[in-house]
Structure 1
């Protein structure tokens, strides 16, 4: 079987991406690859971690479940349309709202967890 995508990044939601980015930069010694008010991209040990601004983010109430844990996967693809069709064939569904369909597609896995298909600019390394 040919892979549809390659693992791209783990993405965390945060009210303050820069603060959380500094935390993860220091803790596992990740390198900051991009930093803005909306997005921080860190890389280290072969892993990419993105932190995305969500204005009304509510932290999880672990170990409770009133506010569940939040994260999603970014999967890198070479062609969005082809990868989207293949993911849907595998069982993904596509919600109507797509914030930037020319740059990435948000799909839901069979359990309803969102994930993104995106074309990585540059080498991705």
Structure 2
């Protein structure tokens, strides 16, 4: 299919959520609520979702959870967030349970942190 054909094609679907595996959905949702300011939109024993608009972040309980390796050459995904000021956001999230890995690929442009369960995410100031 050409680029022109792709541009004319209607969307098949819309992104509604990104879900992170974790051992404790309530705990990880609380961390990301601090980061985003989003409210809980759904909760059950196995899931918690937070959101503020059409896209949500979900947290799914997984037994024997193993965090992703950072950095690694294997397949993985991560979330990117913009913050008004990088240093203060990093300090607040470190105090809330994030860790800052030694490997930082962003230079002065962004910072990679690991959430309390080890998922990498990046913080950057708006361009």
Q: Which has the larger radius of gyration?
A: 2
- Could you say which structure has the higher helix fraction? 2
- Could you say which structure has the higher strand fraction? 1
